[in-house]
Chain A
């Protein structure tokens, strides 16, 4: 009888099912076992390191070139030189090809080369169909070894850069970012941005010198992937880069950043109905062993999307923001910690106070076991996403080697994250999060704010005129 009742009860439930059989929260999975694809590494006679990963699935290839020397290496009076040199390598002609011929030959086959600079690195990226690999590498090699730096193109790029400077306050997010870096990196190359004057100091000679100093095989790591064999790649590299003479230059680290700003509010006035708030300070470099605890801490604080405190409290509960997060950015010299939020102007004070309170709470009492587990599980289970596309795998290898990390850095990182304890998080929170050192950048129209900017410290009005 009892059994029969149970069956009827089960049938009744089936007919009126309002849930799936198993709650997703109760589903458990073993860790994914996988062997990441391992790129081949070889070195050329002229000191260039090459990573290659074969992948035959699609008839395509990618070739990246990574160099030490980003915008942080701009000469003090020539901010913008690194970026312009990178652009002109791509646009100024190469070898026997005029600028137009370079564009025509690449466009015709649907191949693409981009060239750019970050704070610390120079990056070129070539991608195309496998059948065009010779053409692509020939042009890339000409750009590296026989750049045209066409005079007319130099004039054009300098003029375009000045136009970009004239537009530098247009986008509120870009403006807020710039004010933050100019403030916390005051006196340091990371805090220097191009001006009309600095662009005016740049000429062809300066560009050539920048090129000669940084674009050398012994300062380069290449990352190649795609539908080729190792033998093919070795002979291609030899053909196009084998006799590229060494530069024999020593690239020093940028000078150590030290705090030169006065903590407080940096207000950038813009007539918009939303406030952007970016608060933070200098934090740690990318070799600091505390960075693992810092990353886990930051995941819980504001880096882990919807699982983080900032998103949970400022967005989900209070409905004050669509974008709110925090970041721990580690750089070769000195990185930053910062939190960011966009909220309606009338809620600037409320949101800013919430963010400060949340950061303070983490500084004072660290994070919880549950938060740490969430961060670690996410990193461990998501580890496989470091190894999905072939270009991503080789580019990561190149980046790690150039930055002075061992080849198996990704795996080492994972082990280090696993080893972080709650005490580590508490210690690192207390040591590195510092409300007394905050530069709080506020962009917006203070007439609309719920609280005046000076609620959060002495106010410096950021000069908005374009120089």
Chain B
């Protein structure tokens, strides 16, 4: 069964430019080795021999922004299903298990259909409704019994068990709006294990234990969004800010995710998990030659696929301020959003600098004025949404999150925030303040190399987003080139009332009549 290399045709393309990340001024240099397999999968390798460990980071160019009505929740649920193992890991008998999964799916399709019929039976033949609902219940019993049967073949969580037994640290995944990422750190002598595990789940996935996992994802929404004041606010803020672009969906809805089928995921997987959309970074105590050899061996035979439809939707200009309220059992907050730019816009660096001017550190303008001097906020911060560190694929929003002190109205806090934003548009930032920001950008850049995983993340994301990891260096030099005028003109153009969306949290009093 061992595959002779003869049958694997591979072309390695090595990066031509001198691939060194880091600059003499930082007195650090990390050579980045880059190669792309024939099927289009790109690898970046940084050898770092300080500790006998490595981090493997895989990023796939698909996230929730690629979902459409009907398959919303697919990116996230799929990320969960990728931990279920493969057609070998996690099972004692895949053919038998797979036959049962097909049966489960057909019963689920019947439940889905019967639920839709129930609506018409209710209005046209109400006398039959009771029987129909009993029929649905009986299908659920069949589904449960099929799940119980297939569980006999399942080696539960074996994928995790193998990594855990091998000492994995920092083992997780996350689903974003533009990308989904899978990462783990392992002892250096487990490099081949990592290739085997990751290629196995990418090439031969098995979406076992599908129905309970759908419930887990639903429970995750309940914990992370429905019972978190900040996330509830974000969901409304995002939903109000966007009307056209898929960024409008902060998190998948219960109603969508709980109606996904295994086939929805299989389609989503087949469409987007193709080598050309996958970037891999390996950082740590590894040898590039060995990484290349293993990459060929394990990912070389992953089939390519056609490039899927891109996202065409463009968010139209906002014609006026939008305001939303969230009533929740929590203290008042006010979140403010302004439409901004995508990562490749010439104005993006100015936004990055403005963010740091406003809310990075205790001397930043919003923190200093609202928290330290006027003392009207307990805390205040700023950021972006979706908020990837190096920018987002599509125009997102610039956000400010304020937590007013007791007795201070959100309106008063808003007023002070707008005054600060107006100052940015009205007067140039002085040299000392701008130098501070640039010093901080340098320090931030250097600290970005502290952990293997952090570096692997940045490299893989830069490559995946900009199609060239050198974007990581460009990002820094672009930020350092921002002038006081750039800041003024960007602030003037974007921090307008029309371009703004405001969400306020109104505390819910238990026992309120209204």
Contacts and interface: CB of A to CB of B under 8 A. Distances in A.
Interface in B417-462: 432, 435-436, 439-444, 446-447, 449-452
B110 to A, nearest CB: 20
Contacts of B449: 58
B440 A110 contact: yes
B510 A271 contact: yes
Given A27-B192, A304-B164, A385-B185, A14 B223 contact: no
Given A23-B89, A170-B331, A307-B157, A107 B436 contact: yes
Nearest to B148: A317
A163 B378 contact: yes
A19 interface: yes
Interface string B64-108: 000000000000000000010011110000000000000000000
A172 interface: yes
B168 A382 contact: yes
Nearest to B443: A110
Contacts of B3: 14, 17, 21
A167 interface: yes
B8 to A, nearest CB: 10
Contacts of B27: 59
Nearest to A105: B363
Interface string A1-35: 00000000010011001111111110101101010
A274 interface: yes
A57 B50 contact: yes
Interface residues of B, number: 91
Interface in A27-45: 27, 29-30, 32, 34, 37
B490 interface: no
B226 interface: yes
A236 interface: no
Interface centre among B197, B219, B444 (most CB of A within 10 A): B219
Contacts of B161: 306-307, 374
B212 A317 contact: yes
A274 B226 contact: yes
B216 A315 contact: yes
Interface in A41-59: 55, 57-59
B189 interface: yes
B330 A170 contact: yes
Nearest to B4: A14
A27 B217 CA distance: 31
A109 B361 CA distance: 11
B28 A58 contact: yes
A416 interface: no
A374 B193 contact: no
Given A315-B216, A318-B212, A381 B51 contact: no
A20 B199 contact: yes
Nearest to B22: A58
A278 to B, nearest CB: 14
Interface in B307-335: 329-331
A104 B440 CA distance: 12
B26 A59 contact: yes
Contact of A342 (B214, B217, B223, B229): B223
A344 B219 contact: yes
Interface string A219-243: 0000000000000000000000000
A322 B1 contact: no
B53 A162 contact: no
A421 interface: no
B165 interface: yes
B485 interface: no
A99 to B, nearest CB: 8
22 contacts: A20-B199, A24-B88, A27-B196, A34-B51, A37-B51, A107-B363, A107-B436, A129-B446, A156-B372, A159-B405, A160-B405, A167-B378, A170-B330, A172-B227, A306-B160, A316-B157, A317-B156, A374-B161, A378-B164, A385-B185, A387-B51, A388-B452
Given A91-B362, A384-B53, 14 more contacts: A19-B87, A24-B193, A107-B363, A108-B436, A159-B375, A167-B378, A170-B330, A172-B227, A273-B226, A306-B83, A315-B216, A316-B216, A321-B219, A378-B164
